[in-house]
């Protein structure tokens, strides 16, 4: 199918939505009588992301490359096959999208609604070399998004936020405000490092990775009651209670930033026999997926107490919350073939353990009742200098067991697998289940500072921000016994007392590296400058960001040893209404990072209503 240029194609859905936005902008931004006001805002963007580095055979499977005319990969069989769908110097995403919100409020009450719409016609219509699971691994044809989550589909329009809000005086010095409905609540102070306090809402990774992503697109609103009680200018207490569970949304299988293609919604396939993906799918010789187990809607709540020390110009906060994991763990279902475990012998095609309707399966489970305790500070010693930080402690954070160890244990039922030796999983009865996580004590810390320099480097102002991050997991076992994290594409690592033979070219399987470590750390630095009226009346804002992971592998993937990410961008903005962005992203340095070859450049045009 021919690929269409961004400025020559507008999908019917988004065209209608954006037409409505344009017509509504002037009609709804006005004042009613009796103190009732309406405010409408919208941003429309057209953007494209272009890959600038060719697929690296060091991060995809040995069977995947030859299917599309590329060299055999250096890692196991079919892993990271999405990498092969996108060529160097070609678009990976070209999207027209809009975000609009409407607020209607009176003196003490109001309602807020936000909607977003997008049409990624590069993903929807562009031919892909390898294919994906929903399109049957059909080569040189568009990907399918059948079964994807609504937020990760290639084209859609959805309502995101929808809540009512109000406020009332409590006594002579206190004010109570609140919101009820689907909304976003941000706690914590970290700006660049994850894994800390800001976990009330799940993340929309699919939206975050589209060209021109806006901050309001990144978090997924959740239904909750939120209250804030302010007692004068010094003391305050706010809290939330959620009445629905929602999980983080990943981009769909086959897309540019996906490496574990079996995890996204609608992607129900794991090749385990040593055959390539198309052959495994067409012959039904693969590990099937069972229904995901979502967390319950209740049981998520939190409180935050704040104190503003005016003499120090500093706010201190304490936090406590209980929540359910926004990201999944794996659940293995043991085969129950005629009351037994079935057979798994790829050499003889005797594979009832995975082909029988009651064969072994994998599924996703979202772990409940994670507890978090934290403190933060935010201070401004001078008007141009800010310092901030937070520390969070989770006494029962779930960590996922290595996926390769899981697949090996439940397909081969080897007596010497890591999970058999450590967990005795072979004793689980036919039809039983095993949830592949353990809980650990996890501590995270971040410290940051930001300084504004007026009239520097020929700019009106230069802003420099730096942030340090650290993550600690207590009580991890020896890596020769049990291991957590690391992509399954790297294979099975050495087990204590056993010979480990690595048949891959990369020779990364047997090493006790790439797994979650007791300690991990890194830093982030960003510098930006503002040059008003520098180019045909536009304000130019160049920005450079460096993210360097120094040691270890954190529990949530925020730190990957030696990974370096450099992002250089330029924004041109006219009248705070029209803007153009160009941004280049480069990844380098890490030995166990499956996105190392996803360097890209994005080009975005935007308009604000």
Quick: pLDDT tens for 447-471.
999 999 999 999 999 999 999 999 9
Structure tokens at 303: 């409180």
Neighbour count for residue 427 (Cβ, 10 Å): 8
Which residues, other chains included, contact 491 with Cβ-Cβ below 8 Å and sequence gap of 6+?
75, 76, 404, 502, 504, 508, 509, 510
Average pLDDT of every residue of the chain: 94
DSSP per residue, 119-170: EEHHHHHS-BSS--TTTTT-TTB----TT--GGGSSEEEEEEEEEEEEEEEE
Q: How far is CA 334 from CA 266, 288, 409, 427, in A?
A: 22, 12, 10, 10
**What is the reported pLDDT for 247?**
98
Closest to 259 measured CA to CA, from 213, 205, 211, 208: 205
Q: Give the number of residues written for the chain.
A: 609
* pLDDT per position as a tens digit, 573-591: 999 899 999 999 999 999 9
Who's near 585: CB < 8 A, 6+ residues apart?
A: 565, 566, 567, 599, 600, 601, 602
Domain boundaries, the chain: 1-45+92-159
19 Cβ contact partners less than 8 Å away, ≥ 6 residues apart: none
Confidence band, pLDDT 50/70/90 cuts, at residue 296? very high
Under 8 Å between Cβ of 264 and 284: no
Specify whether the CB–CB gap between 97 and 210 falls below 8 A.
yes
Over 60: is that where the pLDDT of 297 sits? yes
- In this predicted structure, the answer to whether residue 560 has a pLDDT above a threshold of 70 is yes
Q: Are strands 437-454 and 461-474 parallel, antiparallel or unpaired?
A: antiparallel
* Ramachandran area for residue 280 (φ above 0: left; ψ -120 to 50: alpha; else beta): alpha
Query: Is residue 254 over pLDDT 60?
Result: yes
For residue 39, pLDDT over 50 is answered with yes
E-strand stretches of 404-460 = 433-435, 437-454
| Cβ neighbours around 53 below 10 Å, total | 14
What percentage of residues in the chain have a pLDDT greater than 90?
A: 91
In 3D, which of 368, 352, 358 has the Cα closest to residue 290? 358
pLDDT tier at 8, thresholds 50, 70, 90: very low
Query: In this predicted model, what pLDDT tens digit does every residue of 310-368 receive, in sequence order?
Result: 999 999 999 999 999 999 999 999 999 999 999 999 999 999 999 999 999 999 999 99
Banded pLDDT at 26 (limits 50, 70, 90): very low
Give the percent of the chain with pLDDT over 70: 95
Helix, strand, coil share (%) of the chain residues, nearest 5? 15, 45, 45
Q: How confident is the model at residue 20, as a pLDDT? A: 34
132: exposed, middle or buried (Cβ count in 10 Å: 0-12, 13-18, 19+): buried
Backbone angles phi, psi at 464, to 5 degrees: -120, 125
Q: Indicate if the pLDDT at residue 19 is higher than 50.
A: no
Distance of CA 22 to the CA centre of its chain: 31
Answer yes or no: are the C-beta atoms of 185 and 154 closer than 8 Å.
Answer: no
Complete DSSP assignment for 530-586: EEEEEETTEEEEEEEEEEEEEESB-TTSS-BTT-EEEEEEEEEEETTTEEEEEEEEE
Would you state the pLDDT for residue 34? Answer: 80
Per residue in 175-220, pLDDT tens? Answer: 999 999 999 999 999 999 999 999 999 999 999 999 999 999 999 9
pLDDT attached to residue 10: 34
Q: Is the pLDDT of residue 11 over 50?
A: no
Structure tokens at 416: 């010497």
**pLDDT at residue 29, rounded to an integer:** 74
DSSP code per residue over 477-488? PPTTT--B---G
Low-confidence winner among 63-72, 316-325, 540-549 (lowest mean pLDDT): 63-72
- Residue whose tokens read 């990907």: 143
Residue 521 has pLDDT above 90, yes or no: yes
The average pLDDT across 49-78 equals 94
Phi-psi domain of 570 (left: phi exceeds 0; alpha: psi -120 through 50; beta: other)? beta
Distance between CA atoms of 266 and 135, rounded to whole angstroms? 11
**Exposure on the CB side of residue 420, measured as CA atoms within 13 A:** 14
pLDDT value at 16 more than 80: no
- Please choose, from the candidates 520, 524, 506, the residue with its C-alpha nearest in 3D space to the C-alpha of residue 567: 524
Residues near 238 by beta carbon (within 8 Å), at least 6 away in sequence:
226, 227, 228, 229, 303, 304, 306
Band (pLDDT 50/70/90 cuts) for residue 4 is very low
Other beta carbons within 10 Å of 606? 19
Judge whether residue 474 has pLDDT over 50.
yes
pLDDT for the residue numbered 28: 59
DSSP character for 192? S
């Amino acid at each position: 199918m021919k690929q269409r240029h961004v400025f020559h194609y507008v999908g019917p859905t988004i065209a209608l939505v954006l037409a409505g936005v344009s017509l509504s902008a002037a009609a709804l931004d006005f004042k009613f009588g009796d103190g009732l006001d309406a405010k409408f805002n919208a941003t429309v963007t057209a953007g494209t992301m272009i890959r600038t580095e060719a697929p690296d055979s060091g991060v995809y499977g040995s069977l995947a490359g030859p299917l599309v005319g590329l060299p055999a990969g250096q890692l196991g069989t079919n892993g990271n096959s999405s990498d092969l769908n996108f060529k160097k110097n070609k678009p990976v995403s070209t999207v027209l999208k809009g975000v609009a919100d409407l607020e209607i409020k009176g003196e003490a009450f109001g309602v807020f609604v936000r909607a977003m719409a997008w049409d990624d016609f590069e993903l929807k219509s562009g031919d892909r070399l390898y294919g994906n699971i929903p399109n049957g691994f059909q080569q040189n044809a568009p990907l399918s998004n059948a079964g994807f989550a609504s937020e990760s589909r290639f084209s859609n329009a959805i309502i995101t936020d929808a809540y009512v809000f109000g406020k009332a005086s409590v006594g002579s010095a206190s004010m109570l405000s609140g919101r009820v409905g689907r909304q976003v609540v941000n706690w914590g102070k970290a700006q660049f490092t994850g894994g800390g306090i800001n976990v009330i809402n799940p993340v929309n990774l699919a939206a975050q990775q589209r060209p021109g992503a806006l901050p309001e697109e990144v978090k997924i609103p959740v239904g909750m009651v939120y209250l804030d009680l302010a007692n004068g200018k010094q003391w305050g207490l706010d809290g939330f209670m959620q009445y629905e569970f929602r999980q983080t949304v990943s981009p769909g299988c086959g897309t540019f930033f996906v490496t574990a293609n079996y995890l996204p919604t609608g992607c129900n396939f794991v090749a385990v026999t040593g055959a390539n993906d198309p052959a495994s799918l067409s012959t039904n010789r693969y590990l099937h997926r069972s229904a995901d187990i979502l967390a319950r809607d209740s049981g998520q709540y939190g409180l935050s107490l704040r104190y503003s020390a005016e003499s120090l110009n500093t706010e201190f906060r304490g936090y406590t919350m209980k929540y359910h994991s926004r990201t999944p763990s794996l659940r293995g279902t043991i085969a129950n073939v005629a009351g037994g475990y079935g057979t798994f012998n790829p050499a003889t095609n005797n594979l009832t353990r995975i082909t029988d309707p009651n064969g072994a399966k994998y599924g996703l489970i979202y772990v409940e009742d994670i507890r978090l305790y934290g403190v933060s500070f935010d201070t401004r010693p001078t008007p141009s200098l800010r310092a901030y930080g937070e520390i969070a402690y989770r006494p029962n954070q779930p960590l996922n067991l290595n996926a390769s160890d899981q697949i090996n244990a439940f397909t081969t039922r080897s007596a010497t697998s890591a999970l058999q030796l450590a967990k005795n999983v072979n004793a689980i009865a036919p039809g039983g289940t095993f949830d592949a996580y353990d809980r650990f004590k996890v501590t995270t810390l971040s410290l940051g500072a930001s300084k504004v320099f007026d009239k520097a480097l020929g700019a009106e102002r230069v802003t420099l921000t730096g942030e340090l991050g650290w993550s600690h997991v207590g009580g991890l076992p020896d890596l020769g016994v049990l291991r957590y994290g690391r992509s399954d594409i790297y294979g099975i690592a050495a087990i204590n007392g056993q010979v480990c033979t690595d048949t891959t070219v990369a020779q990364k399987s047997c090493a006790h590296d790439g797994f979650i470590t007791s300690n991990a750390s890194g830093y982030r630095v960003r510098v930006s400058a503002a040059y008003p009226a520098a180019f045909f009346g536009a304000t130019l804002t160049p920005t450079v960001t460096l993210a360097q992971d120094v040691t270890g592998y954190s529990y949530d993937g925020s730190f990957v040893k030696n990974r370096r990410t450099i992002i250089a961008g330029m924004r041109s903005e006219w009248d705070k209404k029209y803007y153009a962005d160009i941004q280049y992203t480069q990844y380098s340095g890490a030995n166990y990072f499956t996105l190392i070859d996803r360097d890209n450049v994005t080009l975005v045009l935007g308009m604000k209503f």
